[in-house]
Chain A
Amino acid sequence: MRSPDYGIIDHHKDIHSKQVSLDLFRRICLSRYFDYGSISAVQKQILNYMVYLSLGQESISAAVSKATKGFMVFSQHRCHDIYLSYGGDPKKMRDELVGLPTGTSRGRAGSNCIQCHTSQATMFGHHGLIAENVPQAVGAALGSGKPVVAFFGDGSAEEDYVFASLGFAVTHKLPVLFIVSDNNLSILTKIDVRRSWKITDVAKGFGMPAVDITDDPWSVYAKTLALKKTLPALMNIYTCRKNWHVGIGVDGPPEWDRFALVKDKLKELGYLKYALKIESKIKNDIQRLWDKKLLQKRLNQFRASIS
């Protein structure tokens, strides 16, 4: 079942339009190149703290965010892409990662705790207990009556309080969209070693609409548009993590490279030349964002001010 084309929507005139396609691609590129910048910063020793990279999984948040504008967001430790896809300022996230007081949490929380509270987006981050964001998302929906999206992984989906959260959301008919980024890894342990059941079956057992789908952004976008009409609902999205659970290391090539597949699709649709322009601009902007000299100067100034 887990494959790069499971549940894929081959072609739909609205979903595969130029506007939608390029917007999805822009969001993917922003997350992707930001994380490449993070890797470079680690290698150059400007960034000396733990990083939880979204590389390989960015198409999920790109697609879901486009379909859920205005939702409150509760994310987990792998959240750089989520923050950027919902309109977060890359400068503030960069500052958070390196520990500057101009960061999203004033440099106190770091890569796995990114928050955003602006007129554009409300995103509550994570502190450290896996899936802690899921019951909080449910509580926020209960308390506010507003729609909420909770992002978590296939490992988090196994936490007992996630089950309780799904059940509660169904019982109280809460407007929560549960998004499982299923990269098949809990750190390094695969799903078939950990469990024999599927989270979509659990969600369906509670009476919630639930689908498995691959991380093709057009398909995820289409499915999100459909599911958000019948909340609470759950999507388990097959994806591939490119780097380690934490850090910039790589164990081996992922099962599939969604970014390359997206570019293939863009070429097929006739949008590739526009996409390449977008990619080039974003790449340059992000390179400037992670400029070592500039960042080192700011870090030195900050450290001098607190010493």
Chain B
Amino acid sequence: MRSTRHPAPDLGRLVTDERGVSTTVGYVLSLGVATLLLTGLLLAAGNFMADQREGASRTELRVVGQQLASDLAGADRLAQAADDGSVTVRRSLPPRVVGSAYTIRIDQGGAVTDGYVITLEAENGVTATARFTAETDVATPTSLTGGDVVISYDTDGSAVLEVTNA
């Protein structure tokens, strides 16, 4: 009986062996997998970007609000220290936060006496609030936009703290 010996596979010939290979299928597979991969990456990056933008907007609005609140509280202390006189405080706020314009609104409120609330809202819908107290009356409601603001007080005038855009 003759023994059958299978020859060792010739790996070099596999590369050039095109039996069972479809160029179209290969093309579709390559493109499809690459597309899926890239789509997933871009989606994830996009979502990540959106979250970061929102977080950055909120953080920046919060900081702007706190700065304005501290300036108002400081202006209140200056006003209270004077029997008569005037106070002018200037603050340069960023005109936009993460590329979005924003509005500032000051209202009475809060759980404490003489409490006020500053509400900041960006065009992208992100909002933030800051609170402060002032013994001196603050003109409310007040609406502003980002940028340079001026806090003014004069006993010869209205004798309230007024906040306006410069």
Q: Do A and B bind each other?
A: no
